Each structure stands twice: as structure tokens, then as C-alpha cells.
Amino acid sequence: MKKYLKNILYLALVFGALWTMQACNDFDEMNENPTKWTKVDPNYQLTYVELLTWGGMAPLETYLCYHSPFVQHLEGGWLSYNHGGQYRKANQWSKLTWDWGYCYSLKNLVDMLDNTKDKPEYHNLHQITRILKVWQYMILTDTYGDIPYFEGAQGYTQDISKAKYDSQEDIYYDFLKELTEAESNLNEDGGSVTGDIVYSGNVDKWKRFANSLRLRVAMRMAYANPQKAKNEIMELLLSEAGFMLKGEDALIPYMDIKAEMYSRTEFRRNALAQFWRESENTSHPMVGICAPFFNHMKETHDPRIFRIARCYSWQNTIAAGDPFARPDLTDEILALAPDSSMFNPVLPGRNFYQPWPGGYESTVSGRYESIGLRPMISNDFLKYDSPGILMTRAEVQLLLAEAEVRWPDVFSGEISASEYYENGVTEAMNLLLKWGVESYESNEISDYFAANPFPSIQESQIRVINEQLWILHFNNPPEAYANWRRTRYPVLKPSNDPEYGAVTHDSQTIPTRLCYPYDEIAYNNENMKDALERMGGTDNWNYRVWFDCSGRE
């Protein structure tokens, strides 16, 4: 933490310079290209970019509006049910991930690559930057499909103001190349990396993270190009560096700082946690747990259910603008109904009041509770200093489980698919402890595996693995949405299904991408049209991106 705080102080020294690079459209007013400022240490930019991953508020609004309700993790508030729950397009929300990715993160990453190239003292920093660039671009291409990649974010370095769009397939193949080369080029003689708040510049950990991210990329094409995916897995299993070890989750540390909701300069707190928290400060709660997510954990007796979801008394007089002041009703409700039948999670595409739940007289709050029966996201995840997730070992173990199920011939057999699976689920459960959830009792996790044994049929194995990834990624919305489209597990019904009864608007099925920002129509129309020709001819948010397992439904 001391090293982290020191990096924050370093950032303050150069933030004035970085701030001049923030706006996408104001560089014409500048007399000098900021990439010529040789005195800015790219190590400071590294800290800045790492913090931006979950410290910038704007893209997280896209996640709350679309990604989370699409995969039926969260529902109930106006932003979530009105947009992602009822499939209503809104450019002002869907464009934010695009704008932030290009105008903030990638602009800095491309600048860093340019300023560290062929400089021995920055050799390792250059490789780490390549890895982070892949991570950031994955979110963009997974969300929108074909995007500017090879020419993307090069307005400063190459004066490219209208970047061409590249196919997602080509982008993914380049991800593999970049991660392979970055991992092999990281070495102990490549210069120290002082701005890294993820692994403190540890080369071995970054090599393992690069391999782990490459595993995610390879598995993303398990349906689109299974032979390529298999070949990548074979190479990764032979890698000397290996994958993430225990305790090497790639997490971004944040501070207990409250910022203005839409501040473009504050990035030291977890913005997703703040967005959820500020939503609970209002009279219209916005982070209700969606019924399919809650019910899946309930039906499988998952011990995470009441670590992720809690019920709180919903009354302004007690909360007084502070969600941590809300009386917790969960244990009282469980005592009244040990089978969890009284809990009433929000249905997909519905607001908090539809339909109005029944209630009970609470001795905890001293009032009649009805909306209090709606499970909400636990207060443990509303802390400003919650970590941000780049990737976890739990995900790695689950992806290895799926890879072995698909291609057992490339694995040595020393670790079975079921062992990878149990390792991944156990890691996923214990990961929540980093958010401060209640510790598990000695038998909770083992009882879960006893009640939910690993299936013997291949497709069922793939299903349960990806249901576990769905649970794991509840606080990593873009990855949850991407992995759901990759496998279509869990099997989700659209909001207008008779079971849910919601009215849907711009789609009758769960959309499979977001539309391009209107700004692209105005400023980069020709290149965008070329992309649309490859994607069916129109900007259709039901078009299936390249890695989507189309045809399996």
C-alpha cells in the first residue's frame, strides 16, 4: 500500500501533462504534440492506466445499463431495466465504453508504446504495456464487434484521425501474437518497472498473467476456430512460465475515496463500487440481484448466495443517504423461511416495483417490509476501496477445465478436468473474501461439491463450467457478457418470456453486441460502413460477433 500511495503522489506531479491528453477532440487547439514531452516518465502513465481500468466512471455506466442486465446479474433500477432489461437502445449510454477506451486508456497505452520502443531501460515496461493494450482492446471488440485496432488511438502518434476498422477475427489473432511476444520478451534485464500497482514490476508474475490472458483469448475462439484454440492451448501448456499461481490474481488496488460521480480526474477509487453505492443512496435502488442469478445459486445451494446478495430495509429515514445504515433483514428472513422461499428477486426486464412483492412485519427494522424482500448486492461490494479485476486464477482454472474437456489429448492427465473445475470454484468462492465477505464454515465448500458433482457428459461439463464463470464474473460485467455469448451458458430466457412478462422494445431477444457511437457516423462514416458490410450491412445489435457460438441454439 505504501508503494501504491507513492505512485499516486508521482501521478500528481505529471497529471497536469496527462490531463491535456484527455479530451478526444481538443488536440487541434494544441500547439505541440504531447507525445514529444520526453520528461514524462511512462511509469507514471502505467499507474494511471492501471487505475483507469475500474477507476473511470463512464464505461461502468455502459456495464450497468447493458452488460449486467443482458446476462441477468443485476436488474431493477431505471438504467438497468429500462435499457439492458427491456432491450432499449440509448447512444448516450452505449457509447461510453467506446469513448473511454479510446480517448483515455488506449490513447495513453499507444503513447507509452511509442515512447518506450527500442529503449532498453523501458524494455519490460514496453512488454507490460502490450499486455494491457490487449486487455483493454478485448473489452472494446467484445462489446462492439469490428473496431479500429491496428490504426486505433493513433491520432497523436501517427496523425490518424479516421482509423480503419479491423475484423474481430484479425484482432483476436493479433492478440495471440502480442501476448506471445510480450511474454517471451519479458526478462530480468529489461529494466525495472516502478509504476506497476498490480505486480510491482515482477517479471515472472507478468509472464504468467500474459499466458493466462492468452488462455482467455484462445478459449474465446473455442467455437469460432477450435483448431486454432487447441493449438494455442498446446503451446501454453508447454510454456515454462505457466499460468497464474495461487495468490497472483491480477487486481487493481483502490483507495477509500469518494469522488464526484462523473469526475474525469478522480480514478483512485473503484468507480463500479461507487456507482453501485451511489445508486443505493437514492429512493430508487438500482442494483437488485436478478432472479435467474439468485435462483441458480439458491437451487444449487451455493454458499456465495448470501455473500453476494443481501436484503436490506428500504427506507430513506433510516438509510439517510448511506446504504451502510440500512438494517440487514437477510438472517431474519432466513429464520422465517429457511428454504429461502420468501426472497423475491427482481425479474429480468422489470423494475423494483413489478410486481409488488408481499411482505412481513420485521422486528429488525420495526416496520412492515415488502421491497425489503428484494435481494440486493451486498454492502461488501459497495466499498470505494474494493479491488478491480483484470483476471483471476479462478478464471484460469475454470478455462483449463473447459479446455481439457474439449481437448483431453493435449493434457498430460496429471490434473483432471474435474480437479481444475473444483480448483476454480474453490478459488472463486475464496476470492470473495478479498471484498470482506463472511468467512466460510469448514464444510460449506465441500458440501457444495457433494451436492453438485462434476457431470460425466461432455456438454454438461461445459455447461457447469461456464455457469461457474457466470457467477465468478458478476462484478466483471464485460467479461460476463463476452463469455456468455461465447458459450450461451447459462441458458437465459429473454425478458419478454412469459415467465418474466416484461415488455421489450428494440429487440425480442438478448442483444449480442452494442451499436457504434453516433460520433462514428459523423466523423468516421466511411470506415464504419466498411465494417458494417462485414457485419450484415446494418448496425444491428443482434448481429453475432465472430466468437459467438452461433448455430448451437
> How many other C-beta atoms can be found within 10 angstroms of the C-beta atom of residue 263?
14
Per-position DSSP letters for 207-265, written without gaps between them: HHHHHHHHHHHHHHTTTT-HHHHHHHHHHHHT-SS-SPPTT--EEE---S----TT-SS
Question: What is the model's pTM?
Answer: 0.93
pLDDT given for residue 316 in this prediction: 58
Tell me the three cell numbers of residue 259: 469522488
pLDDT given for residue 31 in this prediction: 39
Tell me the three cell numbers of residue 240: 515454462
Tell me the three cell numbers of residue 355: 410486481
Which run of H or of E encompasses 148? strand 147-148
Residue 517 DSSP label? P
Distance from C-alpha of 327 to C-alpha of 334, rounded to nearest angstrom: 15
pLDDT given for residue 8 in this prediction: 52
Distance from C-alpha of 296 to C-alpha of 307, rounded to nearest angstrom: 14
Radius of gyration of the chain (CA): 23
pLDDT given for residue 28 in this prediction: 40
Tell me the three cell numbers of residue 60: 461502468
Question: Which is nearest to 387 in space by CA: 44, 53, 35?
Answer: 53
Residues 50, 201 contacting (CB under 8 angstroms)? no
Question: Which is nearest to 178 in space by CA: 105, 220, 128?
Answer: 128
Query: Which residue type, as a one-letter code, is found at position 446?
Result: S
Residues of the chain short of pLDDT 50, as ranges, are: 1-2, 4-5, 9-10, 12-32, 34-36, 283, 553
**Helix, strand, coil in percent for the chain, rounding step 5:** 50, 5, 40
pLDDT given for residue 24 in this prediction: 45
